[in-house]
Amino acid sequence: MVESYDLGRMLEEIAEDEKTNVSRGSRVTRDEPETGMIENRETYALRGFRGHPPAGEPWMDDPGAPGQLRDVSKMLLQEGVEAGISRVEAAGSPGAPGLDDCSDAQGIRGADAIEFEASRKPEPKPAVISRELPSDGGGGGRVMSLCDLLEDSFFRESTDILIGEGFPPAVKTLGVVRRSTLPALTSAQCAACAKGLMTEGQWERFLEKKELVFSIDLEDLGRFRVSAYRQRNTVSMVLRHIAGTIPTLDRLGLPGWIEEIALKPKGLILVTSPPGHGKTTTAASLIDTVNRKRECHIITVEDPMEYVVRPEKSMISQREVGTDTASFFEGIRGVSKQASDVVMIGELRDPGTIEAALEAVCSGCLVVAATASSTVASAIESMVNRFPVQRQTDVRQRISEKLLLVFSQRLVPGKGAERVVVAYERLLNSSKIRNLIVENRLREVTTQVRRGSADYESIDLCLSSLVREGRIDLEDALRFADNSEFLASSSGW
């Protein structure tokens, strides 16, 4: 049975331990966790330790068989999720050898323990989860860490690592969650893992807000987005790798006409999708296109800042909510005084931010904003509905005047070498579209126009084209269709 911990008591111990460390005035280097672990081997048995260790010492918990984080994650990512899970399940079956008796793809034997250090904060970010691999069956060995798990996911695009109390670390790929058969993590381990990835200020905000999304750079591993949150009085996390370079529009498989829109001198571009379907990447690619083609000043306001835009022809100012500005609204409303030409907004959360975005367009800026909506119509409706009813007519009018494009996308499993393919719905502004927005009749165009027009193309039409080209399966296309009958007939079925 998974051991339970009192989270409040545990956090008090962390705070008390930090006071002890501060009084020592010591600074922990990246190499010291290994030294500390070896020094404590005589104090704590690698197996059988239970309860809360004294403040200032590593937390250890017996992982038991089968296996370790790196072994399993490499199986999932190198052998394929299905094959890897099957192998792990077989290793954990009664009468079958555990992973301690097996070798992973690199021939590494199973590890002895998983160690969690909450009180130490190496510079740069710490390796919070670590394990010791004996080199000769006895002492010594080397320390492996959470960084190893993140390194394994580095080679799998759109892969999340899920960490939470009561279940083993899990991997999510293309919408499918697969659990490893590692021992379930305790609440103490999860909290220590989260705390080790945060700065002191982030940890304080997390304790206050009970959830936090932030980005982190890990040496030799790249950049990760981390979403930490509380559930059932414990700490959980989801980590996603962010590509080191921003993919081009062509690499994303987006149509050529979208670049022409991105290079317009002013106007509003909305990039929308459900969570996890790439809207942030598409918005960043649009901004980087401007960066490579125009000599201008680009300001981004994000929460958190995911992609780092390297200046090409443009000057780049990237601001993160909570670090560089108090809110999206505060970050956007001053852009007209900051000689901005192009503005990217990570999210349109409130009426103030929406109004500030529209004002930025009025001042002559191109604004690219990401929104979490499922269709082009719902993206605009969501903006309007954030305002009181008495103001909605005016807001519709302003949006209709400033809008250039609404681009709604889905990531669909691809065939062959393409792991994912972008399917999209597009709405280009025109006199007809402006009237429909003002009159609150925009859904008429999305229900009546199935064959496409100069100003609108449905996602069904895009999916149908991808099926005929052999890039996606009809079965997958139907899962994302608005009108499955139209999709089936237009695809030749």
CATH code, 73: 3.30.450.90
Choose the final residue of a domain: 242, 272, 305.
242
Looking at residue 367, its pLDDT comes to: 98
Q: How many CB atoms lie within 10 A of CB 257?
A: 11
Q: Are residues 218 and 353 in the same domain?
A: no
- How does pLDDT run across 157-186, given as a tens digit for each residue? 446 888 899 888 788 877 778 776 667 888
| Pairwise CA distance, residues 49 & 134, whole Å | 19
Counting Cβ atoms within 10 Å, is residue 62 exposed (0-12), middle (13-18) or buried (19+)?
Answer: middle
Which position has the higher pLDDT, 231 or 6? 231
Ordered DSSP codes for 22-48 = HHHT---BTTHHHHHHHHTTTTS-SSS
Give percent of the chain above pLDDT 90: 47
Choose the final residue of a domain: 212, 242, 272.
242
Question: Does any domain span residue 302?
Answer: yes
- How does pLDDT run across 377-421, given as a tens digit for each residue? 999 999 999 999 999 999 999 999 999 999 999 999 998 778 889
Q: Are residues 361 and 287 in the same domain?
A: yes
Looking at residue 421, its pLDDT comes to: 94
In the block, tokens 């579209």 appear at 433
| Pairwise CA distance, residues 317 & 339, whole Å | 11
Answer whether 380's CB lies under 8 Å from 437's CB: yes
Question: Does any domain span residue 401?
Answer: yes
Provide the domain count of the chain.
2
Q: How many CB atoms lie within 10 A of CB 394?
A: 11
Please provide residue 403's backbone torsions phi and psi, each rounded to the nearest 5 degrees.
Answer: -70, 135
Question: Does any domain span residue 251?
Answer: no
Check whether 437 has a pLDDT greater than 90. yes
Ordered DSSP codes for 166-216 = TS--EEEETTEEEE--SPPBPHHHHHHHHHHHS-HHHHHHHHHHSEEEEEE
Q: Three-class SS string for 276-314?
A: CCCHHHHHHHHHHHHHHHCCCEEEEEECCCCCCCCCCCC
Q: Are residues 228 and 261 in the same domain?
A: no
Cis peptide bond prior to 54, omega within 30° of 0? no
Q: Are residues 467 and 392 in the same domain?
A: yes
Identify the domain containing residue 28 by its residue range. Answer: 7-242
Angle at 398 between CA 393 and CA 401, to 5 degrees: 125
Question: Does any domain span residue 104?
Answer: yes
Question: Does any domain span residue 247?
Answer: no
The DSSP element (H or E) to which 240 belongs, if any, is strand 234-242
Q: In what order do the strands lie in the sheet with 211-218?
A: 176-179, 170-173, 159-163, 234-242, 222-231, 211-218
Q: Are residues 265 and 183 in the same domain?
A: no
Stretch among 45-49, 178-182, 186-190, 356-360 having the lowest mean pLDDT: 45-49
Q: Are residues 216 and 305 in the same domain?
A: no
Answer whether 217's CB lies under 8 Å from 307's CB: no
Choose the final residue of a domain: 194, 213, 242.
242
Q: How confident is the model at residue 196 (pLDDT cuts 50, 70, 90)?
A: confident
Question: Does any domain span residue 93?
Answer: yes
Please provide residue 204's backbone torsions phi and psi, each rounded to the nearest 5 degrees.
Answer: -65, -40
Q: Are residues 211 and 273 in the same domain?
A: no
Q: Are residues 33 and 139 in the same domain?
A: yes
Question: Does any domain span residue 414?
Answer: yes
Looking at residue 84, its pLDDT comes to: 45
Q: Average pLDDT in the 60-78 region?
A: 45
How many whole angstroms from its chain centre is CA 393?
A: 35
How many whole angstroms from its chain centre is CA 229?
A: 14
- How does pLDDT run across 80-110, given as a tens digit for each residue? 444 444 444 444 444 443 333 333 333 333 3
| Pairwise CA distance, residues 66 & 461, whole Å | 48
- How does pLDDT run across 111-149, given as a tens digit for each residue? 332 333 333 333 444 433 434 333 344 444 433 356 656
Q: Are residues 234 and 336 in the same domain?
A: no
Structural tokens at position 368: 């690219």
Give percent of the chain above pLDDT 70: 66
Q: Are residues 184 and 98 in the same domain?
A: yes
Q: Are residues 229 and 271 in the same domain?
A: no
Question: Does any domain span residue 460?
Answer: yes
Looking at residue 123, its pLDDT comes to: 42
How many whole angstroms from its chain centre is CA 283?
A: 14
Nearest-CA neighbor of 125 among 27, 199, 203?
199
Q: What is the CATH number of the domain that holds 289?
A: 3.40.50.300
Q: Are residues 214 and 285 in the same domain?
A: no
Answer whether 29's CB lies under 8 Å from 123's CB: yes
Structural tokens at position 19: 């006071």
- How does pLDDT run across 304-349, given as a tens digit for each residue? 899 999 999 999 999 999 889 999 999 999 898 999 999 999 999 9
**In Å, what is the CA distance from 7 to each residue of 19, 190, 230?**
19, 10, 10
**In Å, what is the CA distance from 208 to each residue of 7, 70, 212, 320, 419?**
14, 33, 10, 19, 39
